[in-house]
Each structure stands twice: as C-alpha cells, then as structure tokens.
C-alpha cells in the first residue's frame, strides 16, 4: 500500500511540474514574489523523494567524472 501511495505522489508531482494545463492549474500564482514558486519546489521535492524511494538517484547526473579530463 505504501508503494502505491508513493507512486501516485510521484506521478501527480511530475504532472504538476509538466503543467499540462498551461498554467491554468496553479496552487500558488507564480506572479507573487518568492511565494509563487513554493508549489513547484514542493512538487520537485516530492518527485525526487519518490524517485529516491525506488532507488533512482538523480544526483549522479550532476557529478563530474574525476577520470575524464
């Protein structure tokens, strides 16, 4: 049951970040300074947490290979 909830949370947060409604569905409007991006930060955090739960480590994409020059 826990895995199903985490999968649903990941899917909903990914859909929110993709924003298929072209900005018509916003929890907080983006034109409010500093506060407007809190909903996107929350959705990103939930997506990364759900990916991390299933063993997908996104932070490896940003690491440099020390052997390459």
pLDDT-derived band at 21 (thresholds 50, 70, 90) equals: low
Output 19 or 54, whichever has higher pLDDT.
54
Task: Give the mean pLDDT of 14-36.
Answer: 74
pLDDT at position 69 over 60: no
Q: If you average pLDDT over residues 47-68, what whole number do you get?
A: 83
Confidence of residue 33 (pLDDT cuts 50, 70, 90): confident
Q: Is 28 left (phi over 0), alpha (psi -120 to 50) or beta?
A: beta
Question: E-strand spans in the chain?
Answer: none
The predicted pLDDT at position 61 comes to 78
| pLDDT over 70 (residue 20) | no
Q: Which residues are CB-neighbours of 27 under 8 A, at least 6 positions away? A: 39
């Amino acid at each position: 049951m826990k895995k199903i909830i985490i999968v649903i949370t990941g899917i909903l947060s990914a859909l929110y970040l993709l924003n298929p409604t072209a900005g018509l569905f916003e929890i907080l409007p983006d034109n409010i300074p500093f506060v407007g991006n809190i909903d996107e930060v929350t959705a990103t955090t939930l997506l990364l947490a759900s990916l991390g739960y299933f063993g997908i480590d996104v932070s490896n994409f940003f690491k440099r290979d020390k052997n390459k020059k």
